[in-house]
Amino acid sequence: MGRRSLLLLLLLLAFLTPGAATPVPPALRALSSLHLSTSFRSRPAVAMKYSIHYIQQKVDHFGFHTDKTFKQRYLIADKHWKEDGGSILFYTGNEGDIIWFCNNTGFMWDVAEELKAMLVFAEHRYYGESLPFGANSFKDSRHLNFLTTEQALADFATLIKYLKRTIPGARNQPVIALGGSYGGMLAAWFRMKYPHLVVGALASSAPIWQFEDMVPCGVFMKIVTTDFRKSGPNCSESIRRSWDAISRLTEKGTGLHWLSEALHLCTPLTESQDVQRLKDWISETWVNLAMVDYPYESNFLQPLPAWPIKVVCQYLKNPNVSDTWLLQNIFQALNVYYNYSGQARCLNISETATSSLGALGWSYQTCTEMVMPFCSNGIDDMFEPHSWNFKEFSDDCFKQWGVKPRPSWIPTMYGGKNISSHTNIIFSNGEIDPWSGGGVTKDITDTLLAIVIPEGAHHLDLRANNAFDPVTVLLARSLEVRHMKQWIKDFYASLRKMH
Amino acid sequence: MGRRSLLLLLLLLAFLTPGAATPVPPALRALSSLHLSTSFRSRPAVAMKYSIHYIQQKVDHFGFHTDKTFKQRYLIADKHWKEDGGSILFYTGNEGDIIWFCNNTGFMWDVAEELKAMLVFAEHRYYGESLPFGANSFKDSRHLNFLTTEQALADFATLIKYLKRTIPGARNQPVIALGGSYGGMLAAWFRMKYPHLVVGALASSAPIWQFEDMVPCGVFMKIVTTDFRKSGPNCSESIRRSWDAISRLTEKGTGLHWLSEALHLCTPLTESQDVQRLKDWISETWVNLAMVDYPYESNFLQPLPAWPIKVVCQYLKNPNVSDTWLLQNIFQALNVYYNYSGQARCLNISETATSSLGALGWSYQTCTEMVMPFCSNGIDDMFEPHSWNFKEFSDDCFKQWGVKPRPSWIPTMYGGKNISSHTNIIFSNGEIDPWSGGGVTKDITDTLLAIVIPEGAHHLDLRANNAFDPVTVLLARSLEVRHMKQWIKDFYASLRKMH
């Protein structure tokens, strides 16, 4: 797997978080909604009606040289909110447009009535409309200087205090933080750093240990591989063999042309460095599939069938075929991901490299605080070997953003594996989600809980209820609700004790 | 009490923390050491030998635009440290030279052997030698931008991780944070924000609630007044009447001259605005005395007798005397504070306004994060009425530093009164210390403990053992040690459980 691919992998967290609005080209988005209206079976039953609001936030919570402010966007849905005995569910927005996240976090909508909850969705600074310097926000490292997790958490804290002060009845209500993926990390960290503002956190698919050497750098690709191995006979082996097949095929003069035709690429491969780009793009496709391997039809980046890896693997049953045959099979497999709708005319290998606000911001974050090492060895996983080279990574970051990553900062700030003194955090992970490798999958204490969903992909539990949900995710959600109810109950009990 | 006085009051935390090196002019310092060598009875028995070290710290832990570093100074004393079953006592440096603090925190030296402890004293950025921009550090708000509690705590966190990585045997040892006054706040906040790095904190005389409206703004001056009321008959009443007496005396043409002579001022009062300066200076003297009302001879800003307020009050027994007589008594009282050594030739009313690094840094901090409201009403206290006027305060800050204070930030960041989810913090307060009014003086939970020392002035418990210590401070120290031992024991127990 090439260097570029690993860099891009770091983007995937943004890319595949449900509702990361940014990297979906308009054409695909149109496709998706078409698809939705005809056959999407997981459409939540709950109508998602919210109001849009803005709060003035300090651009710099941690310095006083500038007193500049910017408008942070947030959404409120209070249909089921009760002043008496109610609660506030606070979505700690991650790297994308908050409306997209709001529409893709059905779980909160599904439980609002039971928890008498007001739903609040807070947009993360530097994403969506919440741009501290407007169009200049990504101009250079000076303008990007305030894009950190600490500033984002400070925004959330300020917003919660503001809501409690200004919404009649909200003052003495318990707030629970919820988030998925990077937003799940933020939810957990928010409870750790601001326990006075949230009584607990649900951190879904939050790889808080995917930093430094807390988990082996190869765990991510290993889980992707396991997903493919278990989804069909010889499936991962076929993929493992495909890399050399590509190399052999493209060594010959006509190979590039043949492969471009066989894979129906929109832009033919012309030079040898295109081969690495192709391999990276294919790798990313498998990774993406592992994350969105949901039990029902869904539409993230692409409209996909239920259990898409199983469908993919139907084309990859035989690794012992000729190189050309193997690559034709690979095309069929890719086509499941890129053309489930049947409307794509060709496949575009630069599709994941789209540059949008969300991708820009996340790329900067991975180059500063969110330094997550990844590697593969081709033995424990089905990818080409690639070691984690921090020096190279750091140099690339400096070239792109003019900043140097600080890989040990997140563990210093948020405690790494030593977090047992905190309370009331649920870490939920899907076992087939590659991000679970960097997540908390065992209880740490009796109030720092791990919920593992065997059939779960990336934060499946945060998605809306669906008739095809496996029973394990239903159980997970019901456990989550039970704990949230307990936190709410404890809050009101201690409130009564104080008065 | 005048506006200037209230502003200066905010400096007193720095001013009177034992060992705040900055505001003591060289002449006085010489006096103090002379005094020490002849009659200082509280000299600690323990020899204070330490080594001096430096660590490169990021100027900005929370932003990546600058990657600049600076040298933070810290001290280590490891005479009694044991690798086997030992501990690390970490002094969270406050607003002054760390060597001065080190020499004035005898408690740590006294308990080092019992706890098999390495002592570490970390200097606070922008104080002592730890200047991020050298001589330019206080130049303007751009250079001062990195002087915040968050950056200071991040320095401490980075230092602890560095020590554990580099000192053989330190890795698996429990660290306990200790600090007094502002440093006590930092110790408590450090445990709250970085519980993975310190197993507990001893926060001595830490007024963590002296913010916003968490305590009445008048509580501070009320305690000062109580100290004087209880230290001698009519003492506070004499002071209360002195303000009008000063006003009446200085209304007459010759009044300024007479008063300058009567008070032995180095520089005669010449204009009417000097009267307010005089009152502020006298007020500050009473406040200072309340903080350092120790049971034995001591030498902070000034060499002082044991229980100095009692000595002062011997001159203030009769409030029902003429204005001139009353002011002559006031002079005798002031003379206890400013001339216990008997060597002062005159009294200098601009003495507390000395501008030094420590005072500069603290002035900036009170104008940004550390916004502590103070007021007096002349009824519950013995001072002239003065309300807390945030607007005026803010304008003054902007004039002086070009920054605007954010009074609600500290409560947002550190939880205000809602801190019950934290653990292992001891808040100790002396009942006669005016700062106890903003401190935690009642247990919050069974691991967030309050220790009140009835005869204690400002962090008496952190001072070295002394033959004249009241039994209550001995009890407090023994309780503190007992809890620290428990934290250490718990740490090792959980370490064993993990292996």
Closest alpha carbon within chain B to A159: B412
- B142–chain A Cβ distance below 8 A for any pair: yes
B194:A415 CB<8 A:
yes
Centroid of chain to Cα B134: 24
CA dihedral angle for residue A356, residue A361, residue A363, residue A367, rounded to 10 degrees: 160
The answer to whether B157 contacts A412, with C-beta atoms less than 8 Å apart, is yes
Task: Copy the structure tokens of residue B277.
Answer: 């300066």
Touching check for A494 and chain B: CB below 8 Å?
yes
Q: Across the interface, do A65 and B141 touch by the CB < 8 Å criterion? A: yes
A151 in contact with B, Cβ within 8 Å: yes
Distance from CA of A95 to the nearest CA of B (A): 18
The tens digit of pLDDT for each residue in A204-231 reads 999 999 999 999 999 999 999 999 999 9
Nearest Cβ partner of B418 from A148, A196, A404? A196
By C-alpha distance, the chain B residue nearest A66 is: B403
| Alpha-carbon gap: A158 to the closest alpha carbon of chain B (Å) | 7
Active site residue A433: yes
Partner-chain residue, chosen from B67, B148, B421, that has the shortest CB–CB distance to A423: B421
Q: What pLDDT does A253 receive?
A: 77
Alpha-carbon A440 to chain mean position:
16
pTM given for the model: 0.91
Average pLDDT, chain A: 90
Structure tokens at B125: 């950025």
**Pair of tokens at residue B26:** 């060289």
Minimum distance, in Å, between the CA of residue A397 and any CA atom of chain B = 12
Which residue(s) pair with B119 in the sheet?
A: B77, B89
Phi-psi region of A161 (alpha: psi -120 to 50; beta: other; left: phi over 0): alpha
**Better pLDDT: B300 or A355:** B300
Any bridge partners for residue B304, and if so which?
B298
Alpha-carbon distance of A212 to A370, in angstroms, equals 10
Q: Is A145 on the interface with B (CB under 8 A)?
A: yes
Please report the beta strands in A4-152, taking only residues with DSSP state E, as ranges in sequence order: 51-58, 69-77, 87-92, 117-122
Q: Which residues of B touch A125 (CB under 8 A)?
A: none
- Of the candidates B338, B219, B231, B247, the one whose C-alpha atom is nearest the C-alpha of residue B293 is B231
CB nearest to A412's CB, from B148, B158, B422: B158
Taking 60 as the threshold, does the pLDDT of residue A35 lie above it?
no
Give the residue-averaged pLDDT of A473-487.
98
Q: Please report how many Cα atoms fall inside a 13 Å half-sphere around the Cα of residue B482, on the Cβ side.
A: 9
CA distance A151 to A365: 12
**B294: Cα separation from own chain's centroid:** 14
Q: Do B412 and A144 touch (CB under 8 A)?
A: no
* pLDDT category of residue A358 using cuts at 50, 70 and 90: low
Residue A185 host element (H or E) = helix A182-193
Residues of chain B positioned with their CB less than 8 A from the CB of A151: 62
In three state form, how does the secondary structure of A391-442 look? HHHHHHHHHHHCCCCCCCHHHHHHCCCCCCCCCCEEEEEECCCHHHHHCCCC
> Rounded distance, CA A437 to CA A435, Å?
5
- Three-class SS of residue B41? coil
H or E, element range at B70: strand B69-77
Q: Which residues of B touch A368 (CB under 8 A)?
A: 64
Q: Is A408's Cβ below 8 Å from some Cβ in B?
A: yes
CB–CB of A431/A473 below 8 Å?
no
**What are the structure tokens assigned to A362, written together?**
């996340």
* pLDDT at res. B463: 95
Q: Could you list the beta-strand ranges (E) of A99-184.
A: 117-122, 175-180
pLDDT(A46) > 70: no
pLDDT digits (tens, 9 = 90+) for A171-200: 999 999 999 999 999 999 999 999 999 999
Report the residue of chain A nearest B414, measured CA to CA. A194
Chain B interface test: which of A55, A59, A62, A421 (most B C-beta within 10 Å): A62
Residue A87 phi, psi (nearest 5):
-150, 170
CB-nearest partner of A146 from B63, B195, B421: B63
- Based on the residue annotation, tell me whether B42 is a catalytic residue of this protein: no
Distance CA B417, CA B436 (A): 15
CA-CA distances (angstroms) from residue B302 to A347, B15, B307, B335? 81, 12, 13, 11
- Give the B window 67-86 contacts with A, CB below 8 Å: 67
**In A, which residues are within 8 Å of B423 by CB distance?**
421
- What is the bridge-based pairing of β-strands B303-304 and B298-299? antiparallel
**How large a percentage of chain A has pLDDT more than 90?**
83
Cα–Cα dist B207/B217, whole Å: 12
Q: Is the pLDDT of residue A86 over 70?
A: yes
- Report the distance separating Cα B473 and Cα B110, nearest Å: 14
> What's at B401, amino acid-wise?
W
The per-residue DSSP string of A85-113 comes to: T-EEEEEE--SS-HHHHHHT-HHHHHHTT
Q: Which of A354, A249, A454 is nearest to A12 (CA)?
A: A354
Separation CA B280–CA B9 (nearest Å): 9
Beta-bridged to residue A53, according to DSSP, are A74
The total of other beta-carbon atoms located within 10 Å of residue B213's CB is: 12
Nearest-Cα residue of chain B relative to residue A367: B64
Write the CA distances from A153 to A23, A57, A146, A440, B60, integer angstroms: 24, 12, 12, 21, 17
Q: Which residues contact B184 (CB under 8 A, 6 or more apart)?
A: B202, B203, B204, B205, B206, B427, B459
First-residue to last-residue Cα distance in chain A: 61
Q: In the sheet where A425-430 sits, what is the strand order?
A: A51-58, A69-77, A117-122, A87-92, A175-180, A200-204, A425-430, A448-453
Q: Which residues of A touch B499 (CB under 8 A)?
A: none
Rg, Å, chain A Cα set:
23
Whether residue A418 lies within 8 A of chain B, CB to CB, comes out as yes
* Residue with token string 């509702």: A19
Q: Cβ A421–B195 below 8 Å, yes or no?
A: yes
Amino acid letter for position B494: S
Which parts of chain B sit beneath pLDDT 50? 1-44, 353-357
Task: Count CB neighbours of A207 within 10 A.
Answer: 27
Annotated catalytic residue: which of B458, B459, B469, B483? B458
> In 3-state terms, what secondary structure has residue A486?
helix
Interface probe for B, chosen from A149, A175, A196 (most Cβ of B below 10 Å), is A196
Using DSSP bridges, classify how beta strands B425-430 and B448-453 pair: parallel, antiparallel or unpaired: parallel
Chain A residues whose beta carbon lies within 8 Å of the beta carbon of residue B498: none
Q: Please, is B168 exposed, middle or buried when counting C-beta atoms within 10 Å of its C-beta (0-12, 13-18, 19+)?
A: exposed
Q: Would you state the structure tokens that stand for residue A218, as one six-digit string?
A: 């190869």
CA-based end-to-end distance of chain B: 62
Out of A130, A181, A205, A376, pick the active-site residue. Answer: A181
Are A145 and B415 in contact (CB < 8 Å)? no
Q: B463 and B18 in contact (C-beta within 8 Å)?
A: yes
Q: What are phi and psi of B203, to 5 degrees?
A: -105, 100
Q: Which of B61, B196, B368 sits opposite A418 (nearest CB)?
A: B196
Instruction: Determine the distance in angstroms separating the CA of A163 from the nearest CA of chain B, rounded to an integer.
Output: 13
Cβ–Cβ contact A403 with B under 8 A: yes
ipTM summary value: 0.90
| Calpha distance B12→B181 (Å, rounded) | 10
Contacts of B196 in chain A (CB under 8 A): 415-416, 418-419, 421
> Which of B:155-174 have CB within 8 Å of A?
157-158, 161
Catalytic site includes residue B143: no
In this complex, how many residue pairs, one in chain A and one in chain B, have their CB atoms less than 8 Å apart? Answer: 90
